[in-house]
Amino acid sequence: MGDAHLAQLDSYEIKAHLLAKAVPQVFAALWLLTAVCPAFAYTLAEIQNKGQIRVAVYKAFPPFSDNGKGIDVDLAAALAEKLKVKPSMMWIEADESVDDDLRNAVWKGHYLGGGTADVMMHVPADPEFMKRNDEVKIFSPYYAEQIEVLRSVKSIPTLPNLEVFAREKIGVELETVSDLYLLSAFSGRLRSNVVHFRSPALAVKALRDGEVVAVMAPRSELEASLGPAKVGYTVSQVPMPGLAIQGWKLGLAVKDDNTELAAALEKGMRQMLADGTVERIFKKHGIGYRAP
């Protein structure tokens, strides 16, 4: 899923343009049948009465979720405990945009069925994004993500800017905002040294194998891919002129009118941020925590 997993505002939007495909007419017809039927949302009292909250989590997106484990999975369980209920995961695949993911997972449901979740993790808490998605309430940012560069210190001792990649090879996940930026930055002068991979993990493996000297991706994915063997490598912020959004906050989303549930989740997340629970969960998965 790449950057589209990340609740990065620009990543999702750019990937939507890169991967846009025509919807088959039969699916379009099904869509029209459901377009006027927003999903029913359980209230806080109903969730507590049934003893379970359904949480939408992106599938197979380390370090936030991977084989049923990950940061968002643990955060969902901790939030459920705050509400005195059990978590039930609704695993979702990234669509062409986060707007689509919110529609499918929170406020209407997918045209193929499956229902909706009570709350969704990993949603961009950005004012403009929130404004255009008024069918949902986005709140409680819990992490600040950032596009950065992981590099071999031996090959590149310092990295004041990206111009070195006019001479050195840099790995990037295919069809992500990082990919699009590297191909177009500096009037395209880096293009011939941009090496594409299907995932950040594969790009980092290539870095270890000496095939590239650096990798650009969201910091959490770089740290997860690098693992505990960090000697000889460093992750750092680099100026990226022309990239409007280099960082973003991740938060929660519920249906727009589910105010009591939002208030309870916000209270729970606030407590978890204050007592260090959120930071401990990130550290448990080998990710340095950055407060939003």
Q: CATH number for the domain including 171?
A: 3.40.190.10
State pLDDT tens for residues 21-55.
Answer: 333 333 333 333 334 445 667 999 999 999 999 99
Same domain, 189 and 137: no
CA distance 217 to 227: 15
- What own/partner pairs with CB < 8 Å and gap ≥ 24 does 164-167 have? 165/190, 165/193, 165/194, 165/214, 166/190, 166/193, 167/193
Q: What percent of the chain has pLDDT over 90?
A: 77
One domain, residues 138 and 166? no
- In the prediction, which pLDDT does 109 show? 84
- Is residue 261 a part of any domain in this protein? yes
Q: 82 in a domain, yes or no?
A: yes
Helix-then-strand count for the chain, H and E: 11, 9
Beta strands in the chain (DSSP E): 52-58, 86-92, 119-124, 136-152, 170-173, 194-197, 214-218, 233-236, 247-255
- Both 106 and 150 in one domain: the answer is no
Let me know whether 118 and 263 are in one domain. yes
How far does CA 236 lie from the centroid of its chain?
Answer: 19
* 72 vs 19, higher pLDDT: 72
Domain membership of residue 291 (yes or no) is: no
Q: pLDDT: is 81 or 2 the higher one?
A: 81
Asked if the structure places residue 290 within a domain, the reply is no
The answer to whether residues 174 and 130 belong to one domain is no
Residue 157 and residue 30 share a domain: no
**For residues 56 and 90, what is the distance between their CA atoms, to the nearest angstrom?**
5
Q: Are 216 and 178 in contact (CB under 8 A)?
A: yes
93-129: per-residue pLDDT in tens? Answer: 988 889 999 999 999 987 777 799 999 999 999 999 9
Note whether residue 128 is domain-resident. yes
Q: Which residues of 153-171 are buried (b: 16+ CB within 10 A; e: fewer)?
A: eeebeebeebebbeebbbb
Query: Count of domains in the chain?
Result: 2
Angstrom distance (rounded) from CA 197 to CA 149: 15
Domain span holding position 230: 146-236
Same domain? For 230 and 179 the reply is yes
Q: Say whether both 77 and 115 belong to one domain.
A: yes
241 in a structural domain: no
List Cα–Cα distances, 285 to 65, 74, 223, in angstroms.
Answer: 10, 10, 10
pLDDT, position 39: 61
**Claim to verify: residue 101 and residue 232 sit in the same structural domain:** no
User: Is residue 102 domain-shared with residue 187, that is, in the same domain?
Assistant: no
Q: Are residues 155 and 124 in the same domain?
A: no
Residue 292 included in any domain: no
Are the C-beta atoms of residues 92 and 104 closer than 8 Å to each other? yes
Tokens of 22: 């025509």
Residue 140 forms part of a structural domain? yes
Of 215, 236, 257, the one marking the end of a domain is 236
pLDDT in tens, 216-241: 999 999 999 998 888 999 999 999 99
**Dist. CA 89–CA 185, nearest whole Å:** 39
20 lies in the same domain as 134:
yes
Could you tell me which residues come within 8 angstroms of residue 21 by beta carbon, excluding any fewer than 6 positions away? 96
Confidence of residue 138 (pLDDT cuts 50, 70, 90): very high
Pairing type for strands 194-197 and 52-58 reads unpaired
Neighbours of 184 (CB within 10 A): 13
